[in-house]
Amino acid sequence: MVTLAAAPDLIAEGSSLRVREVSKSFAPADGNVAERGEETRALERVTLSVAAGELVSLVGPSGCGKSTLLRLIAGLDAPGAGELWVGPEPITAPSAERGLVFQDPNLFPWLTVRRNIEAGLVARGVLREKRNEVDEFMRLVGLEKFAGAFPHHLSGGMAQRVALARALINHPKVLLLDEPLGALDAFTRMKMQDEVLRLWRARRTTMLLVTHDIDEAIYMSDRIVILTPSPGRIERIIAVDLERPRQRSSPEFLRLRGDILELLHFAGSTAAA
């Protein structure tokens, strides 16, 4: 049997993604007198296209609509205006072809690690045909030994690996990552960044990564989309033309980091660092 990791070139699962002139507003929260009548404009006329197999990061301060954009692409919310497509198909509802991983792994606590990973196959009613893939994905994320464990026994990094395997087992055309490594400690996070890159290379899935860690965005992505808040807009899209594996302390890396911080008006803090 050919393992997925050993034959990356055989698989190109990603699909292109287009977001055109998308806006999204939220009604004011009830009972909040100060904001009553004012709706929050989470996204305003956002346009973005991502090529098949590309890894793009969304970076910006909180409230800039990164997570909202991800939920729209996942199909969990409908846009107020504008259109979204995966390949040639418009996005109307959630689907297994657009996997989503949150900061909180959101593993089903009543299922073992193995059953969590199987969940997508069960949901689509294809467990019988694809049962052998479960082992493959458990191996892919290095969790064979924890097949029977319940989620509350797992560390944060392990739980997030299960969440990744659970999303990947459906072979999504687009994998949406909403700060998936945000809750991990610095060392685990750097290890997991390599892990995600390995999975991305193995599967050539299109990935959209929301993060507020600029180093993470530079280390991982082909392009970085900088968003600004209220209303959420795309400020700039930066291509990262550095060879992988990237050196976090190389002059090019640091220069890029300085540029992005300047764009986000945090340039002063780099001088201190």
Partner 1 sequence: MNATPELIAPPSAAPAPASPSVHSDGTTIPPPAFAKLFRRAPADVAARALPAALGVALIVHRLAAKNELANETQLYTQFLTGLLVAAGLAAVAQIFWTGLRQWLRENCPILAAAILLLGAWETITAGFRWLPMPYFPSPAGVLQSLVNDRALLFDSTWHSLLLLLGGYALGVAVGLVTGICIGWFPFARYWGMPVLKIVGPIPATAWIPLAMVVSPSAIFSAVGLIALAVWFPVTMLTASGISNTRASFLDVARTLGAGRGYLIFRVAIPAAMPSIFIGLFMGLGASFLTLVVAETIGVKSGLGWYVTWAQGWAEYGKVYAALVIMAAFFSTIMTLLFQLRDRVLVWQKGTIKW
Residues that bind partner 1 (CB under 8 A): 74-76, 94-96, 98-100, 102, 104, 106, 108-111, 119-120, 122-124, 150-152, 166-167, 170, 176
CA torsion, ordered 32, 37, 42, 45, to nearest 10 deg: 180
Between 162 and 197, CB nearer to partner 1: 162
Give Cα 174 to chain centroid, integer Å: 9
Least distance in angstroms from the C-beta of 76 to partner 1: 5
Least distance in angstroms from the C-beta of 187 to partner 1: 26
Could you identify the residue written with the tokens 């073992």? 112
Least distance in angstroms from the C-beta of 61 to partner 1: 23
> Of all helices (H) and strands (E), which one includes residue 18?
strand 17-26
Least distance in angstroms from the C-beta of 109 to partner 1: 6
Least distance in angstroms from the C-beta of 120 to partner 1: 4
Between 79 and 99, CB nearer to partner 1: 99
Q: Are 20 and 47 in contact (CB under 8 A)?
A: yes
Report CA torsion sign: 38, 211, 208, 95. negative
Between 100 and 202, CB nearer to partner 1: 100
Q: How many CB atoms lie within 10 A of CB 193?
A: 21
Between 147 and 263, CB nearer to partner 1: 147
Between 99 and 231, CB nearer to partner 1: 99
Q: Are 17 and 86 in contact (CB under 8 A)?
A: yes
Residue 238 to residue 240: CA distance in whole angstroms = 6
Nearest to 231 by CA among 70, 75, 50, 44: 44
